[in-house]
Amino acid sequence: MTVQTLSVDSGKYATKACILRSSGNIGTLKFLTRMDAEKENLGDTESYSVIYEGSKYLIGRQASSWDPSRTKKSEIHKISTYTAIGNLVGNGDHVNIGIGCPLSIYMNPASRKAYKEYLVSHGKQINITINRKNTSFTIKRSFIFPESSGVIYLNKKEFTNDTVGVVDIGGLNANCCIYENLIPKADVNSMFTLDEGGHILTNRIKSELESNCDVSLSDILMNKILKDGFMHSDPEKSSEIIKRCKKDHVMKIYNECKKNGWPLENMKIIFIGGTSALLSNEIEEIFPWVDLKNCIDYGDYANAHGFLKETKNRTF
């Protein structure tokens, strides 16, 4: 029997996972949190044909359905979590696992317990087939962490006895939370979620470019345009539109923080998430005292790395 230590951060847009290898290195996995029932993977390396408890699912890029709700106590997140684990461990392994959960659930002990029992209850054996490969693993120990707290666990020594504001811009949402001495503050103004993720920003920029530059843009092309910061067919106008949309996006987050009474000028502010890297120039302009180090170092995997580190600390 081999005991593996893993973490899974199953977001509404993408699922990220980390595993601590016996060499000490960390392996990673990422796929889109999309799921369709009764469909097959047609050879895409970022999609998985899954069978769990007699039901068939298509998970990842080739699937089209996603879950916009904020509870994450849903079938799509369960199957995505098990798919991530099953891809990283060997058949028959036992697993120490750390996962994130929405802050609203985490702050309620009964809800947090129910969430844990639903997804990763101690002693639960999971039998899953992924791309026609059968895998069985058993949850040995499991830990639930507040979503967006991964960066806190990556820097526990630095943030102990401190007040820190974390802004996690994911694919669909921006999660914002104030932590005091490593613990989320319980009052309603200290934690909130905005529908201002990277996918929302991309669609907004795409719409603006199409209406102002008389073009039709594919999603694949949008990735390159955002990376370049302009369209080659109209570089000056497109650059201005992209910069304006990106700055407006960050200003919405800034204004919401101020609206909720965050003491921005007297508190450490940390941005994480893949979209934060895309918006780094605008973030530094509007939040000049911001810390982007963890965003640069870990990108999309900041939470998964933090959950893994804390899971290791609690089990070793």
Q: Are residues 162 and 143 in the same domain?
A: no
Name the domain count of the chain. Answer: 2
The answer to whether residues 17 and 90 belong to one domain is: yes
Residues 94 and 192 in one domain: no
Residues 249 and 134 in one domain: no
Predicted confidence at residue 239, as pLDDT, reads 97
Whether the CB-CB separation of 81 and 124 falls below 8 Å is answered with no
Residues 100 and 176 in one domain: no
pLDDT at 296: 81
What's the CA gap between 144 and 142, in Å, rounded? 7
Q: Per the domain annotation, does 311 fall within a domain?
A: no
On whether residue 203 sits in a domain, the answer given is: no
> Are the beta carbons of 42 and 131 closer than 8 angstroms?
no
Q: Does residue 182 lie within any of the structural domains?
A: yes
Residues 83 and 190 both lie in one domain: no
CA distance linking residue 204 with residue 252, whole number of Å: 14
pLDDT for 71 equals 65
- Residue 202 binned pLDDT confidence (cut-offs 50, 70, 90): very high
Nearest to residue 264, comparing CAs of 180, 188, 163, 173? 163
315 assigned to some structural domain: no
Under 8 Å between Cβ of 213 and 238: yes
- The overall average pLDDT reported for the chain is 94
CA 124 vs CA 6, 26, 127, 137, 190: distances in Å: 16, 25, 10, 8, 35
> pLDDT digit string (tens) for 261-312?
999 988 999 999 989 989 999 999 999 789 888 888 888 999 999 999 999 9
Comparing C-alpha atoms, which of 150, 245, 239 is closest to residue 198? 245
Among residues 272, 304, 312, the alpha carbon closest in space to that of 17 is found at 304
Q: Which residue has the higher pLDDT, 242 or 187?
A: 242
Q: Read off the pLDDT of residues 62-90 as tens digits, 9 standing for 90 and up.
A: 999 887 666 667 899 999 999 999 999 99
Residues 110 and 9 placed together within one structural domain of the fold = yes
Shared domain check, 183 and 123: no
pLDDT at 257 over 90: yes
Nearest to 32 by CA among 101, 100, 80, 68: 80
Residues 167 and 129 in one domain: no
Domain of 75, in residue numbers: 3-147
Looking at the structure, do residues 33 and 104 belong to the same domain, yes or no? yes
For residue 235, being part of any structural domain is answered with no
- Phi and psi at 85, nearest 5°, equal -65, -45
CATH classification of the domain holding 96: 3.30.420.40
| pLDDT reading at 56 higher than 80 | yes
The predicted-structure confidence for 88-128, as pLDDT tens digits, reads as follows 999 999 999 999 999 889 999 999 999 999 999 999 999 99
